[in-house]
Amino acid sequence: MVRIKRGTMVKKGRRTLFSQVKGYRLGRSKKVRDATTAALHAGVHAFAHRRKKKGDFKKLWIVKINALARKSSTNYSKLVSSLKKQNIKLNTKVLSELAKDNETAFKKIVDSCK
């Protein structure tokens, strides 16, 4: 049986690891142990922030709706509750796009809720 050395596979793993942490500061881009921990932590944060980004967008949509709703002498919470009472099913994203792109349509929706 021939002896098989695994140095090439170890180098390949290191190469992919260092390509992931390219641009990190100090030892996190040069040393294997520091690079592995940095890559793992970066992955954890990336996963969590992909979820957090959805909440950030919803906050932004609410701000846009509230800004235009206040021009029509109401606010976001009153607008949403009156939309629910009148059974108008428009979600926050659609309302914010209307507020941004088509103010007249948004004002018609607000007037129909009053």
For the structural domain made of 7-113, what CATH number should be given? 1.10.1900.20
- Select from 41, 42, 39 the least CA-distant residue to 31: 39
Above 90 in pLDDT, residue 6?
Answer: no
**For the segment 26-56, what is each residue's pLDDT rounded down to a tens digit?**
999 999 999 999 999 999 999 999 999 999 9
As a whole number of angstroms, the distance between CA 18 and CA 47 comes to 20
Confidence of residue 113 (pLDDT cuts 50, 70, 90): confident
DSSP 29-74: GT-HHHHHHHHHHHHHHHHHHHHHHHHHHHHHHHHHHHHHHHHTT-
Q: Which two three-digit tokens encode residue 113?
A: 């809720």
pLDDT at 5 (0 to 100)? 84
Contact (Cβ atoms closer than 8 angstroms) between residue 72 and residue 107: yes
Domain ranges in the chain? 7-113
As a whole number of angstroms, the distance between CA 95 and CA 58 comes to 11
**For the segment 50-105, what is each residue's pLDDT rounded down to a tens digit?**
999 999 999 999 999 999 999 988 999 999 999 999 998 999 999 999 999 999 99
